[in-house]
Amino acid sequence: MRSFRDIAGTISPLPETIYIDTANATLEWFGLLKKHMPFNNVQSIDSLLLGTRAIKSKYELDIMRIAGAETDRLYREKLPEILQEGISEAALGAELYKVFLNNGFHGVSRFTMRNVDAVLGHIAFGESALYPSAFNGASGTKGLCPAVPALGNRDRYLKSGDLIYIDLGAGVDGYHIDKTIVLSYKKPQPEHVIKAHKHCLELERLAVSMLKPGTIPSDIYEEVTASVNSEYSSCFMGAKGRTVPFIGHGTGLNVDEMPVIAKGYTTPLQEGMTIAIEPKIGIDGIGMTGSENTYLVTKSGGESLTGTPRELDIV
């Protein structure tokens, strides 16, 4: 197809009503289409597309299992080899990018949300993970510069005692998983930080136990948020004053797919959906604690595609 005129030439008679992906159709695109196809009515096909993408086939799941297993392996085997005192967030991001690319990843993290530039994901030391950005997630990032808040910052260097926060939406053959790990560099964190991290792991296990066909996503959200200790109520799923109203999201062709584990999302879960569960707690002066793994909805609860949640290990 070389122009919109080619579409009209394949359809006769031209329809009165057309169905389009309204989430991605710009006004410019819409105008060009209408110029060559003078339809009268437009209907959205968004919900049908998202619903179809939410339930994965065996082919899709096989790819996502590879992506999840490789992400977990590379985190465990290769990340410790790269970490060294004085490395910058950006340099760590560049080294991780090379490692992931050489192990089968497709080199870009695609998002449904607008205005997101992501190479792999968020790579942050300490309070960098709390830096405010336009990203609609628990963490933030200063990134390379204000115009490109991605990969990691060139001027934040790793030092003993830092929290290392890495949230990657890694993908293989077009399909993404989402996994976050939080580590402590060279020495243990204060007890209140370890306590917050352990609480996130408890909340993740609670949510995962409910990832069964027929469960209402908003019910999972309500039960998990009701279980959050009151001391973390102002910083659960973000930094104080900058939290997000969800604890999980679908993954697949994009990092952020349907369904969303959030208040008001009432479409029941179905077997074959893949969902990233990500309870996180931001701590002023320290950084972001928590965990994230991608799970498959099954009759017995969530089956992890990305390994087990990790304690606050020292590297």
3-class SS letters over 60-116? HHHHHHHHHHHHHHHHHHCHHHHCCCCCEHHHHHHHHHHHHHCCCCCCCCCCCCCCC
Does the pLDDT value for residue 112 go beyond 80?
A: yes
Task: State the pLDDT at residue 238.
Answer: 97
- Residue pointed to by tokens 């949640």: 309
Task: State the pLDDT at residue 174.
Answer: 97
Distance of alpha carbon 275 from alpha carbon 255, whole angstroms: 10
Task: State the pLDDT at residue 117.
Answer: 77
One domain, residues 37 and 75: no
Q: What share of the chain in percent tops pLDDT 90?
A: 84
One domain, residues 106 and 165: yes
Domain annotation covers residue 64: yes
Domain annotation covers residue 49: no
Phi, psi for residue 37 in degrees, rounded to 5: -130, 90
Stated pTM of the model: 0.94
One domain, residues 28 and 112: no
One domain, residues 278 and 185: yes
Distance of alpha carbon 260 from alpha carbon 125, whole angstroms: 28
The residue range of the domain holding 27 is: 4-44
One domain, residues 29 and 124: no
Q: Is the dihedral of CA 195, 201, 205, 208 positive or negative?
A: positive
One domain, residues 262 and 238: yes
One domain, residues 93 and 9: no
One domain, residues 105 and 11: no
One domain, residues 181 and 235: yes
Domain annotation covers residue 200: yes
Are residues 290 and 239 in contact, defined by beta-carbon separation less than 8 angstroms?
no
pLDDT tens digit string along 61-73? 999 999 999 999 9
Rounded to an integer, the average pLDDT of 190-199 is 98
Query: Structurally, how many domains does the chain consist of?
Result: 2
Domain annotation covers residue 85: yes
